[in-house]
Amino acid sequence: MSGRTLNDELDQIFAVRDRNNVQPTIDALLPLYASRPGNARVLFEVGGAYDTAGQEETAQGFYEHALAAGLEDDLLRRCYLQYGSTLRNMGEYRKSCEVFTTARKTFPASQALRVFEAITLHAAGQPNQAIASLLDLMVDFVHTPDMDRYRPAISGNAAFIRSLEGNGAPLQLSRTEGAA
């Protein structure tokens, strides 16, 4: 290893990653996983590689183990986002929303978490909540003279759209729920 840290090795793997052909990245990560099976970052990065490769079920397990292993700071935020997104892609909308709720409590300033949570809400059959959340995000983070002028109107419309949700209609539990 010649003095290279684990983080250096991981950074090098991702510096040459090809998102259109993730298998070489997975192949490079697996020996690190074999030698450090409980390392939170390794677990997260392996999960992310499988996720990018479209292998959500495999990614899910790695994300869950990474969270249990004690990710911190930005890696924790990224894992929450990717795990919640993976759950959504697998049709596990309720669990995805729970992950995003936890993530947003931990990282309240993360705009990306709010965007991906809105995508989950839309997929879960709550398009009004999704649109209202995105409008709130715009009000909170887009600061231009045009937006500033209409900020109260946008906030009012977000509240109105949110009220149309059907008095708290339950999330769909999965894509297949009710399919008999």
Instruction: Give the model's pLDDT for residue 131.
Output: 96
CA–CA dist 130, 132 (Å, integer): 5
- Residue 162 maps to a domain: no
Instruction: Give the model's pLDDT for residue 180.
Output: 32
Q: Give the residue carrying structure tokens 């900020």.
A: 151
CATH of the domain at 29: 1.25.40.10
* 143-179 residue pLDDT tens: 999 999 999 999 999 999 999 966 444 455 545 443 3
H helix or E strand, kind and range, residue 146 = helix 145-163
Q: Which domain covers residue 28, as residue numbers?
A: 7-124
DSSP annotation string for 38-89: T-HHHHHHHHHHHHHTT-HHHHHHHHHHHHHHT--HHHHHHHHHHHHHHHHH
Instruction: Give the model's pLDDT for residue 4.
Output: 87
- Max alpha carbon distance in the chain (Å)? 61
* 96-152 residue pLDDT tens: 999 999 999 999 999 999 999 999 999 999 999 999 999 999 999 999 999 999 999
- Residue 143 maps to a domain: no
- Residue 146 maps to a domain: no
**pTM of the predicted structure, to 2 decimals:** 0.86
Total count of domains within the chain: 1
